[in-house]
Chain A
Amino acid sequence: AQSVTQLDSQVPVFEEAPVELRCNYSSSVSVYLFWYVQYPNQGLQLLLKYLSGSTLVKGINGFEAEFNKSQTSFHLRKPSVHISDTAEYFCAVSPQGGSEKLVFGKGTKLTVNP
């Protein structure tokens, strides 16, 4: 079975500062990895995903994440955040093959302050 740990439940930052949201996973098999974002009072949308290939994945809104197999991590980064990035961010993992359910982390609340 897979599990996901998001190490920070809340991350406050100032506008235009860089940010890193941390995600570690546990799995006995190879995995696919995802980051979803949930803006206030909205549903979830996909930010980016790692399926295979380059370990640096670029997503929407200037976010990127790096898959590190040895450290079983998939940290999300943005070099300069905006007020509009304030949201809940969820890391998720599924075993390769796609036949099993996605497992979500508990989420990280990113608050960007002016």
Chain B
Amino acid sequence: SAVISQKPSRDICQRGTSLTIQCQVDSQVTMMFWYRQQPGQSLTLIATANQGSEATYESGFVIDKFPISRPNLTFSTLTVSNMSPEDSSIYLCSPADPTTGELFFGEGSRLTVL
């Protein structure tokens, strides 16, 4: 298993601003995913962030809006750019077990955009 710490845990942001979410894992992981969970919804995959390669974005998500960094095997950041109220969500980073695909989660980052 892995222990995941995200910062900030929650924030209230103004429309048009950007916020960077940091994700720290207590062990080295190759596969890491960023998810969004809108209120009352399931998880939607934003992108796959494997160390040593560019992030791969899912349909509907673009790098200009959600730039991701993965400088090493224990850390990643997701920036939510030019935020609008529709970006109000919980954002979760999740390392994966490379043999089973099992995902590990922390508490996530709860963003409210006014």
Contacts and interface: CB of A to CB of B under 8 A. Distances in A.
A and B: interacting chains: yes
Interface stretch (A13-21, A58-66, A93-101): A93-101
A98 B101 CA distance: 4
B92 A98 contact: no
A45 B102 CA distance: 11
A57 B74 CA distance: 31
A101 B101 contact: yes
Nearest to A6: B42
A21 B25 CA distance: 32
B107 A94 contact: no
Contact of B101 (A32, A36, A42): A32
A49 B102 CA distance: 8
Interface in A75-114: 90, 92, 94-95, 97-102, 104-107
Interface of B is mostly: loop
A42 B98 contact: no
B105 A44 contact: yes
Taking residues whose C-beta sits less than 8 angstroms from the other chain, chain A's interface range is: 20 to 34
B92 to A, nearest CB: 7
Given A49-B102, A107-B41, 16 more contacts: A34-B102, A34-B103, A44-B103, A45-B105, A90-B42, A94-B101, A97-B99, A98-B97, A98-B98, A98-B101, A99-B101, A101-B48, A102-B101, A104-B43, A106-B41, A106-B42
Give the top 7 A-B pairs by smallest Cβ distance, nearest first.
Answer: A94-B101, A44-B105, A98-B101, A43-B105, A43-B107, A98-B99, A106-B42
Interface of B: 33, 41-43, 45, 48, 92, 96-108
30 contacts: A32-B100, A32-B102, A34-B103, A36-B105, A42-B107, A44-B43, A44-B103, A44-B105, A46-B104, A49-B100, A51-B100, A90-B43, A94-B100, A94-B102, A95-B101, A97-B99, A98-B96, A98-B100, A98-B102, A101-B33, A101-B101, A102-B33, A102-B96, A102-B101, A102-B102, A102-B103, A104-B43, A106-B41, A106-B42, A107-B42
